[in-house]
Structure 1
């Protein structure tokens, strides 16, 4: 699974964790992360023997809502040994925000 990142990770002042990179034994390359939740998900997925591929921010959905263009970039794509691929969002400790919940209902 070699999908390019469609959107980078912003560096925000005041955050405890800056975006970074995880060297994946599964993929043999670096995987970017933008939050602690995403980093932890990548670390755990990298240890799972069923996971054969991980891609960071590989898909961006774009749609129109109330005359306004809306976008949402998923955090990860995960390929499993059974041939399936899963798209994953990694909300933080507090769970998904209202905005993310609303977007998930649309998509």
Structure 2
């Protein structure tokens, strides 16, 4: 039986003690430290041995910092994709978390999913990515969120090293900056209607039935479905769920916005 801290990682039908594996390696680069889905115990293993685990379900390796006078804003986002809260450590991270929650191809999101050991030449020994994302096709994406103006040369080295370790096991890696302002404004508005309670029947069915005859302007669509006070929340929820669609990138939502059936581009 392994002692404390000797987490076992099951790989392709065999079980390997992580501490035994690490003891035989001189370069710890690619070593992950993470928490499980249901407990706070730390597990350590090589990425090559645990890449298949559902990291979209793990608990954060660290909690968002909150202290008087801090310059960034940290918090929790209720994620409809997961049906639970997911953390963020800046407004920019929150914006991308919101965008991931809106993406119909995303089926799982976790924040600060693990700490990964970096190659020895780098002065920074480890890095905690901002998000781990699971897509509907089973592929995985590791994300860091940092506006271009705040990326220093040392940061680029960290991101490049993280990308190399991720791509080595078939994961994608991206460093994201700020979202376009128009798209972000529309997304923030629709996100307020992401909760299932915002949708009402028979209004939802009536709206889609009307659109089955062709696109319609937002003001005409809501008026045809009833009192806009009661039909608008359902319409915005349907937009969030991609049951109906419009262009969210070129102009802010307005009364003359053209709505149609289908997936939001």
- For residues 81 and 118 of structure 2, the distance between their equivalents in structure 1, rounded to whole angstroms, comes to 33
Residue 10 of structure 1: how far off its partner (Å): 2.5
Q: Indicate yes or no: 2:97 matched with 1:30.
A: no
Residue 99 of structure 1: how far off its partner (Å): 2.3
Written as runs of structure 1 = structure 2, the 5 A alignment for 1:57-72 is: 57-63=112-118, 65=120, 70-72=125-127
| Superposed CA offset, 1:5-52 (max 9, x none) | 01222236241x421000001100000000111101100010111000
- For residues 68 and 55 of structure 1, the distance between their equivalents in structure 2, rounded to whole angstroms, comes to 27
Structure 1 stretch displaced more, 77-86 or 56-65? 56-65
Unaligned runs of 5+ in 2: 1-55, 163-265
Written as runs of structure 1 = structure 2, the 5 A alignment for 1:1-107 is: 1-11=56-66, 13-15=69-71, 17-63=72-118, 65=120, 70-92=125-147, 94-107=149-162
Higher helix share: 2
Question: How many residues are treated as equivalent by the alignment?
Answer: 106
Q: Post-superposition, which runs of at least 4 consecutive aligned residues in structure 1 deviate over 2 A? A: 8-14, 63-69, 95-99, 104-107
Structure 1 stretch displaced more, 59-68 or 24-33? 59-68
Residue 93 of structure 1: how far off its partner (Å): 5.3
Q: Are residues 68 and 88 of structure 1, via their aligned partners in 2, closer, same or farther at CA, if it must alter by over 3 Å?
A: closer
Secondary structure in structure 1 of the residue aligned to 2:107: strand
Normalization by structure 1: what TM-score?
0.85
Larger radius of gyration: 2
- For residues 67 and 99 of structure 1, the distance between their equivalents in structure 2, rounded to whole angstroms, comes to 9
Paired residues of 1:36 and 1:92 also in contact (CA < 8 A): no
- For residues 26 and 97 of structure 1, the distance between their equivalents in structure 2, rounded to whole angstroms, comes to 33
Q: Are residues 51 and 67 of structure 1, via their aligned partners in 2, closer, same or farther at CA, if it must alter by over 3 Å?
A: closer
- For residues 67 and 45 of structure 1, the distance between their equivalents in structure 2, rounded to whole angstroms, comes to 30
Higher strand share: 1
Normalization by structure 2: what TM-score?
0.37
- For residues 75 and 55 of structure 1, the distance between their equivalents in structure 2, rounded to whole angstroms, comes to 8
